[in-house]
Amino acid sequence: MLKLDAKIPSGHIEQKWDSYKFNAKLVNPNNRRKFDVIIVGTGLAGASAAASLGEAGYNVMIFTISETPRRAHSIAAQGGINASKNYRYDGDSVYRLFYDTLKGGDYRAREANVYRLAQVSSQIIDHCVATGVPFAREYGGLLDTRSFGGAQLQRTFYARGQTGQQLLLGAYSQMMRQVSEGNVKIFTRREMMDLVVKNGKARGIVVRNLLTGELERYAAHAVLLATGGYSNVFYLSTNAAACNVGAAWSCYKKGAGFANPCFTQIHPTCIPRSGEHQSKLTLMSESLRNDGRVWVPKNKGDKRNPNDIPENERDYYLERMYPAFGNLVPRDIASRAAKKMIDEGRGVGPTGEAVYLDFRDEIKRQGLDKIKEKYGNLFDMYYRITDEDGYKSPMRIYPAPHYTMGGLWVDYNLMSTIPGLFVMGEANFSDHGANRLGASALMQGLADGYFVISSTLPNYLASTKFEEAHIEDSEFNDSENSVRSEIKKLFSIKGNKTPNEFHKELGNIMWENCGMGRSEEKLKKALKLVPSLRDEFRNNLKLVGDEGFNQTLEKAIRVRDFLEFAELLLKDALYRKESCGGHFREESKTPEGEAQRDDENFAHVAVWEYAGENKEAELNKEQLTFEYLKPSTRSYK
Amino acid sequence: MEKNKFSITLRVWKQKDASSKGYFESYKVEGIIPDMSFLEMIDVLNEKLIKQGKEPIFFESDCREGICGCCGFVVDGNPHGPDEHSTVCQLHMRRFKEGDVVTIEPFRAKSFPIIKDLIVDRSALDKIIAAGGYISVNVGSAPDANTIPVDKNTAEKAMDYATCIGCGACVASCPNSAAMLFTGAKIAHLAYLPQGKPERTKRVLNMIKVMDSLGFGNCTNEYECEAVCPKEIKVGAIAKMNREFLFANFLSEEEPQLPPVFHKSTVDVPEDE
């Protein structure tokens, strides 16, 4: 059994973080250099952690799968970052951001963590502005904000449709400053293959140098994982090609609990797929729902040009079903509503798997220039991909896997069930419950990296007695040997199917059976299909090339991990019989078809523990208690 | 939904590693759908090659949304291909037709050594940033974000330059392999913001010095970089950098520094296979 102590500080929720910081043990500035810290991943969480820990004087080694830290997928986030600044005086506060985030997550997140996130949100904006992030501004020179889904006020700061890019380049520049100071060393084109645990503590990693194929070992006093999410288990998702679950999965196999893997988010506004060759789905920012109206024809199979469909034959279904929030309902609700329309046969476009997002009315009201100024780059992107002009006729959108709320279990310190292994950003599970609100991922990544880990890691380092650990230790040997033999195994198969074919097949199984609607029947079916696909992989994988630089091998390793991980995701989805947030069990819905939560039986985090090869993962539970916000039925009507 | 399928001949630069000699190899790609992206077309070809037990074409891409800056090679002489201000991942096959012969080769510059096939090493760009492309401020020490107002036009100008994705197309398009658009964009972004002012003289001197030492060439006003930049960064970035450089040299207290030495930095490219 895992020991799941969330280590939430005592005291009132408003004081917990301050009292934590006061009680935390500190490391003397002169001693910090003696501590080596490994960070895996250079996205918002990883890069900002490298910056803050480098500034403090720790000896940081940071690893990225890409050729430069600038490629991390945080860069693709478009819409914005939330903060409870209340610059607009529209009723915002730390407490309201806390409330919106917890409610948006359908009461499946940990109160104390979410409150802390809301608390540091303001400081994130301050720091980002000071580091040169060019946020959008009003004519008076002060910062502009806009609305996002799940909130009735304007707390989202943004830099055109490229907020993630600007924040990542900001965090990257702060990290590069530490590189120039000699506090941070970057290792590019390295993929983490295994976590090394010695004397019960995380003490290092084994990585594969992607250019040479060599396995390399690195030892440290703590390992910080910031490797993002696992949406690519669905094959087609909004994630970048390199995003994978491998690093997190290797930690799981070394004893880190995996929490709520079934909490995955389907984003409602993506460009629909165009054919079998499709390699990824492109997201278009949720901010488009500020001014775009979502609709389908009232009549089934209406194939007319959308501009020829008169007003009274259009169904603006989000405005009809959820008048209070309208087009700005949270993502899970918008996605499900779209699915409902499509299931009713009212989907549009050549495949019938799309709904309209229409700017006609707002172009009329605000003028074309204003809309172009706000969303120009998104319209351009839509045009490049679809060859259609979104200003002249409505865009077609369809939901796609996007973000994963589930991840490695962490306590209030962001430490996993393995001492010394910390998990930040999307890779952990803690802040978004069963559904993440728009513009909250960037907030969490930077909160974890800039503000949380810089206080919690020193506490661990200062209060732990460290044994010697060197890369020649037997633990490192064993780890490297097992990684090597697993790679050799892949080469020995000599089958006929490419890694990509397996990935595509896995994605189909997952999307069909564990996508927007999940049922016992479908999940049980998938739980048969996935293991048999995995068996086929083990017997029929085709590889080319050698163990050196080999992109086919890289893909094969990632698909191998997804094939194992997918089963855990399905198992968790089957276990969680309730519907909540992005996890919609068809058996658990209200008479109106909305998600029906079951607080009595499922107000807990499901934390899965690795039990060994070919053994069933074991379930552990962290009970969620709600002292400050009583769970209520989430209503956006 | 499938429109007319067509086929093209793809001439691809193959090169084992930095020290090996490269050559063009031709592949026939069939069953192309106009809605496919260019990279998806290569994906399809690569799948076929793997099936046949042959080595696939090595190329890089990640987000495939035109923002990460990872993809990038030269299509028929154009970095990122024939579409204006676009990354190659956003190029679609509807731009091509039956029977086309399309040549793809890596970004070529002395400072971007070829790693394999279409993949080059662009890490020199990170070295330029490490030389000063940041504002020195520690976590937790910043004043409230609205303390210093920044007028909207200035903020927009900073943003125009900040959108650089660091893909290196500007270097690849430049006859001198200059990285001045990249470096200038970063300098301009930070120089326009009041937060970047305290370090502005040191920043421009250090970044130019490192840029120069990495073997990038100088600007001779060809404007090729502006023409290919996926983010439409204007050569105004270079002008701004030069003004910052002059300011730092003549008006500040910093030690004066010579401007970048003029040198061309191209590599020899073989004519044909």
pTM of the model: 0.97
Q: Please give, rounded to a whole number of angstroms, the shortest distance from the CA of A281 to a CA of chain B.
A: 9
pLDDT in tens, A73-129: 999 998 899 999 999 999 999 999 999 999 999 999 999 999 999 999 999 999 999
- Could A498 and B193 be called an inter-chain contact, meaning their C-beta atoms sit closer than 8 Å? no
Q: Which of A110, A217, A331, A336 is catalytic?
A: A331
Which residues in chain B are contacts of A52 at CB distance < 8 A? Answer: 139
Of B63, B150, B166, the CB nearest to A141: B150
Quick one: pLDDT band at residue B3, thresholds 50, 70, 90?
Answer: low
pLDDT in tens, A354-413: 999 999 999 999 999 999 988 888 899 899 999 999 999 999 999 999 999 999 999 999
Whole-number Å distance between alpha carbons of A615 and A258 = 16
Whole-number Å distance between alpha carbons of B30 and B100 = 12
- Is A287 in a helix, a strand, or coil? helix
Of B92, B144, B158, the CB nearest to A134: B158
- Could B65 and A76 be called an inter-chain contact, meaning their C-beta atoms sit closer than 8 Å? yes
CB contact residues (below 8 A), chain B span 62-121, against chain A: 62-70, 83, 86, 90, 92, 94, 115-116, 121
User: In this predicted structure, what is the pLDDT of residue B267?
Assistant: 56
- Could B162 and A130 be called an inter-chain contact, meaning their C-beta atoms sit closer than 8 Å? no
pLDDT in tens, A291-317: 999 999 999 989 999 999 999 999 999
- Could B69 and A177 be called an inter-chain contact, meaning their C-beta atoms sit closer than 8 Å? no
- Could A126 and B129 be called an inter-chain contact, meaning their C-beta atoms sit closer than 8 Å? no
User: In this predicted structure, what is the pLDDT of residue B269?
Assistant: 54
- Could A127 and B63 be called an inter-chain contact, meaning their C-beta atoms sit closer than 8 Å? no
> What domains can be seen in chain B, in order of their start residue?
6-119 (3.10.20.30), 123-251 (1.10.1060.10)
Q: Please give, rounded to a whole number of angstroms, the shortest distance from the CA of A504 to a CA of chain B.
A: 12
Of B58, B92, B140, the CB nearest to A123: B140
Which residues in chain B are contacts of A68 at CB distance < 8 A? Answer: 122-123, 125-126, 166
User: In this predicted structure, what is the pLDDT of residue B273?
Assistant: 40
Which residues in chain B are contacts of A134 at CB distance < 8 A? Answer: 155, 158-159, 162, 189, 193
Q: Please give, rounded to a whole number of angstroms, the shortest distance from the CA of A576 to a CA of chain B.
A: 32
CA angle A319, A322, A327 (to 5 degrees): 50
Is residue A57 scored above 70 in pLDDT?
Answer: yes
Q: Please give, rounded to a whole number of angstroms, the shortest distance from the CA of B133 to a CA of chain A.
A: 6
CB contact residues (below 8 A), chain B span 18-57, against chain A: 33, 35-37, 39-41, 43-44, 47, 49-51, 53-56
Touching check for B159 and chain A: CB below 8 Å?
Answer: yes
Tell me whether residue A484 is one of the annotated catalytic residues: no
pLDDT in tens, A443-478: 999 999 999 999 999 999 999 999 999 999 999 999
Which residues in chain B are contacts of A65 at CB distance < 8 A? Answer: none
pLDDT in tens, A561-592: 999 999 999 999 999 999 999 999 999 999 98
- Could A142 and B149 be called an inter-chain contact, meaning their C-beta atoms sit closer than 8 Å? yes
Whole-number Å distance between alpha carbons of A373 and B246 = 34
Touching check for A310 and chain B: CB below 8 Å?
Answer: no
Cβ atoms of A283 and A267 closer than 8 Å: yes
CB contact residues (below 8 A), chain A span 547-606, against chain B: 549, 551-552
Of A66, A274, A381, the CB nearest to B70: A66
Which residues in chain A are contacts of B95 at CB distance < 8 A? Answer: none
- Could B145 and A277 be called an inter-chain contact, meaning their C-beta atoms sit closer than 8 Å? no
pLDDT in tens, A272-287: 988 889 999 999 888 8
- Cα nearest neighbour of A120 on chain B: B140
Q: Please give, rounded to a whole number of angstroms, the shortest distance from the CA of B144 to a CA of chain A.
A: 5
CB contact residues (below 8 A), chain B span 228-257, against chain A: none
Going by DSSP bridges, is the β-strand pair A59-63/A184-187 parallel, antiparallel, or unpaired?
A: parallel
- Could A131 and B134 be called an inter-chain contact, meaning their C-beta atoms sit closer than 8 Å? yes
Mean pLDDT, to the nearest integer, of A488-495? 98
- Could A131 and B137 be called an inter-chain contact, meaning their C-beta atoms sit closer than 8 Å? yes
User: In this predicted structure, what is the pLDDT of residue B265?
Assistant: 57
Going by DSSP bridges, is the β-strand pair A293-297/A314-315 parallel, antiparallel, or unpaired?
A: antiparallel
User: In this predicted structure, what is the pLDDT of residue A240?
Assistant: 97
Is residue A39 scored above 80 in pLDDT?
Answer: yes
> What domains can be seen in chain A, in order of their start residue?
268-401 (3.90.700.10), 474-595 (1.20.58.100)
CB contact residues (below 8 A), chain A span 381-440, against chain B: 381, 384-385, 387
Kindly compute the dihedral angle of the four CA atoms of residues B156, B162, B164, B166, in this order, to the nearest 10 degrees.
Answer: 180
- Backbone phi, then psi, for A597, in 5-degree steps? -80, 155
Number of Cβ pairs < 8 A linking chain A and chain B: 218
Touching check for A184 and chain B: CB below 8 Å?
Answer: no
- Could B159 and A384 be called an inter-chain contact, meaning their C-beta atoms sit closer than 8 Å? no
Cβ atoms of A469 and A198 closer than 8 Å: yes
Nearest in space to A68 (alpha carbons), one of A190, A224, A216, A195: A190
- Could B122 and A134 be called an inter-chain contact, meaning their C-beta atoms sit closer than 8 Å? no
Nearest in space to A385 (alpha carbons), one of B89, B172, B259, B234: B89
- Could A73 and B151 be called an inter-chain contact, meaning their C-beta atoms sit closer than 8 Å? no
Which residues in chain A are contacts of B121 at CB distance < 8 A? Answer: 67
User: In this predicted structure, what is the pLDDT of residue B263?
Assistant: 63
Greatest CA separation found in chain B?
66
Is residue B270 scored above 90 in pLDDT?
Answer: no
User: In this predicted structure, what is the pLDDT of residue B261?
Assistant: 67
Test the A interface: residue of B139, B146, B156 with most A CBs within 10 Å: B139
* Tokens, residue A20: 């934590």
Which residues in chain A are contacts of B39 at CB distance < 8 A? Answer: 279
- Cα nearest neighbour of A351 on chain B: B1
pLDDT in tens, B51-78: 999 999 999 999 999 999 999 999 999 9
Which residues in chain B are contacts of A385 at CB distance < 8 A? Answer: 37, 90, 92
- Is A150 in a helix, a strand, or coil? coil
Of A140, A275, A280, the CB nearest to B33: A275
**How far is residue B126 CA from its own chain's centroid?**
12
Test the B interface: residue of A62, A280, A554 with most B CBs within 10 Å: A280
- Is A243 in a helix, a strand, or coil? coil
- Could A542 and B33 be called an inter-chain contact, meaning their C-beta atoms sit closer than 8 Å? no
Which residues in chain B are contacts of A140 at CB distance < 8 A? Answer: 149
Kindly give the interhelix angle for A94-104 and A111-130, rounded to the nearest 10 degrees.
120
CB contact residues (below 8 A), chain A span 339-368, against chain B: 350-351
